[in-house]
Amino acid sequence: MPSLQILMIASEAVPFAKTGGLGDVAGALPAALARLGCGVTLAVPRYRGVAGGTPLTRFPLTVGGRTLEVGFVEHPLADGARAVLVDCPELFDRPELYGVGNADYPDNAFRFAAFTRAALEFAARHDLHVDIVHAHDWQAGLAPVYVRTLYANHPELARAALVFTIHNLAYQGLFPPHWLPALDLGWDLFGIEGLEFWGKVSFLKAGVNFSDRLTTVSARYAKEIQTPEYGCGFDGILRRRADRLVGILNGIDTAVWDPATDPHLPEPYDADRLDRKRSSKRALLEAVELPSDDQALARPLVGMVSRLVEQKGFDLLEKLGERLLALDASFVLLGSGEPRFQDQWQALAARAPSRVAVRIGFDEPLAHLIEAGADLFLMPSRFEPCGLNQMYSLRYGTVPVVRATGGLDDTIVNWSPRTGRGTGFKFADTTPEALLAALRKALEVYRDPSAWRSIQLQGMACDYSWDASARHYEKVYENAIRARTKRP
């Protein structure tokens, strides 16, 4: 098969913008596909503060009768892969990506519809010979609809196969129906087989219903989202399309997340020099102003880097409250999110300032230092489509304690003292007690240095690089092309 040309559309991508796992994936997948011989153009909005790049073109774009002046700026990503940043300051030159605090920008429907249109129009005008339009999450969910409506007669785009990836089903891009005409979408699309979801327009549903193939980010999550418990109201819709849905585990960027080369660590380490991990622990304790004497260094340190929301299990931790302080462990938390969880953790830190440190905010260097300096990494998620931090933790010899859901269940092997096999500790029930029991068990094993070292080394030997995942995506693209040829 000749090399595939892929237009990827994502609302965030490292190194340009990131609020979560989507940014990591969209930043790494294009280069991994390019290594397999694919040609990839990744469209991302040009948010505030993103500089540089080569200007390619500008043209006016009319969406719902409103004309925007849009520029396109190229950044090479790898041999065969490039990012094209969509420059439209009135939509994207704002303090945050999606909204300020917990309030979304009121024009998000327009912002991301216009971004998607701009990406497609760029491809349409520049003869990219696109074989695949691969859209990610609700922000790009209208891409397959626009390809099938506005570009239905375009000689190139109309024959592209359409792939949509769900990174998190909980974010559904729901807007009042009056947006339809403002986004050039006909009322005929406002039906149960189209974009309508309980009286609203859902961009996510657009992606699900109009694509040739659907993917999500772990095999376990692909199954879970077809159940009422995890389906967020979409389980029936997904069950009907189960034959075209597959789970592909995200990889991690092994160049960025490598304790042997990580510039954020005081001293590099790897499986052969694991003792040097201790310098990262000391540096982390110092960085967050916890004691770093011998006694503190000997005490197990639990790290967390997370959005502070219920999805990540922060309500379970909230219920444990001060029971966490009864454990012989210290805690470092980096994250931001719901004020109630921020307050709770700040109160815990005030109560036990020598054992709990909290940093509210987004801090990439500190995230690296936590991965390296902590002994355990806690992810008690209620649901977790894939999760990246547990894979970073494995690589950094930091033992994950996770709830057995989604990608956490697929990537962590529960430690068994009987077989001596395992890379972490898992619990099944969504209860504070189950979480506490798993933490207790992990802390008990921590006191057995040879067992602990064995768990660390088994984790460090895992390979979650992008290459295997990219090969899976390539298969999905080939299947999507076959499905496209059968579509009317």
Task: Point out which residues bind ligand ADP (CB under 6 A).
Answer: 20-21, 24, 168, 305-307, 334-336, 362-364, 367, 386-389
Q: How far is the CB of 218 from ligand ADP (least distance, A)?
A: 10
φ/ψ (deg, to 5) at 101: 60, -135
Q: Residue 290 or 367: which CB sits closer to ligand ADP?
A: 367
d(CA 21, CA 8) in angstroms, rounded, equals: 16
Cis peptide before 449 (omega within 30 of 0): no
Q: How far is the CB of 345 from ligand ADP (least distance, A)?
A: 12
Q: How far is the CB of 301 from ligand ADP (least distance, A)?
A: 17
User: Residue of minimal CB distance from ligand ADP?
Assistant: 21
Q: Residue 300 or 335: which CB sits closer to ligand ADP?
A: 335
Following DSSP, what letter does each residue of 321-339 receive, concatenated?
GGGGGGSS-EEEEEEEE-H
Is the Cβ–Cβ distance between 196 and 172 less than 8 Å?
no
Q: Residue 345 or 452: which CB sits closer to ligand ADP?
A: 345
Q: How far is the CB of 245 from ligand ADP (least distance, A)?
A: 19
Q: How far is the CB of 368 from ligand ADP (least distance, A)?
A: 8
Q: Residue 24 or 375: which CB sits closer to ligand ADP?
A: 24
Q: Residue 120 or 304: which CB sits closer to ligand ADP?
A: 304
DSSP secondary structure letter of residue 486: H
C-alpha to C-alpha distances, 256 to 262, 269, 395, nearest whole angstrom: 7, 14, 11
DSSP secondary structure letter of residue 377: E
Q: How far is the CB of 365 from ligand ADP (least distance, A)?
A: 9
Query: Residue 203 corresponds to which tokens in the numbers above?
Result: 């961009």
Is the Cβ–Cβ distance between 134 and 32 less than 8 Å?
no
The CA-based diameter of the chain, rounded to the nearest angstrom, is 71
Q: How far is the CB of 460 from ligand ADP (least distance, A)?
A: 18
d(CA 94, CA 12) in angstroms, rounded, equals: 14
Q: How far is the CB of 167 from ligand ADP (least distance, A)?
A: 7
Q: Residue 303 or 422: which CB sits closer to ligand ADP?
A: 303
Residues 6+ apart with CB under 8 A from 351: 322, 325
d(CA 67, CA 281) in angstroms, rounded, equals: 54
DSSP secondary structure letter of residue 413: P
Q: Residue 24 or 474: which CB sits closer to ligand ADP?
A: 24
Q: Residue 45 or 385: which CB sits closer to ligand ADP?
A: 385
- The closest of 58, 14, 487, 454 to 251, measured between CA atoms, is 14
